[in-house]
Amino acid sequence: MYIGLFTTICIIVASWFVCNEYQKSNNLPNPQLTLGECEQAALKFEKKYKDTWKIKTLKVKVTAYCPCKECNKQWAGLVCNGKKMSYYTDKGINICAVDPTLIPLGSTLMYNGVEYYAIDVGSAIKGNIIDILKPTHDEANAFGVKHDQIICIKK
């Protein structure tokens, strides 16, 4: 099913809003992205996922984790399908943990202009929570907790 013009416009506006709110909340310089920059990203996103059957925007709590034992206990370095996290990260694939009753595993998420592959779960990830993988424990802790919107593409 082709993603229509209305959905494209929604993606553009949501991307613009989310990116700008992120920049403002993190006191980054030049907090306003141009609508043109967001439009380019959204059109690229639409082209890549035009055969996808469902897109939705969700308001979520966003946290971060890393491959370490403190974050993952006996599953350190692994995702829920048993593969090593490095299997994905070495290919440049950003991964995140989701509640599969809300976001199906294998979905693609867009958060702050970055694509994440929903390929992990966690005991604390229930409902509208996503946990994005960071390379180190310090980066995961520094990320903190955010409340934001994501765009979810279910395949």
Question: Are the CB atoms for 129 and 109 separated by under 8 Å?
Answer: no
Domains observed in the chain: 1-51 (no CATH), 54-155 (2.40.40.10)
Q: How confident is the model at residue 24 (pLDDT cuts 50, 70, 90)?
A: low
pLDDT for 1 equals 36
In this predicted model, what pLDDT tens digit does every residue of 35-88 receive, in sequence order? 566 566 666 666 665 555 577 888 999 999 999 888 888 888 889 888 999 999
In whole angstroms, give the CA distance from residue 118 to residue 131. 9
pTM score, whole prediction: 0.66
Structure tokens at 61: 């709590």
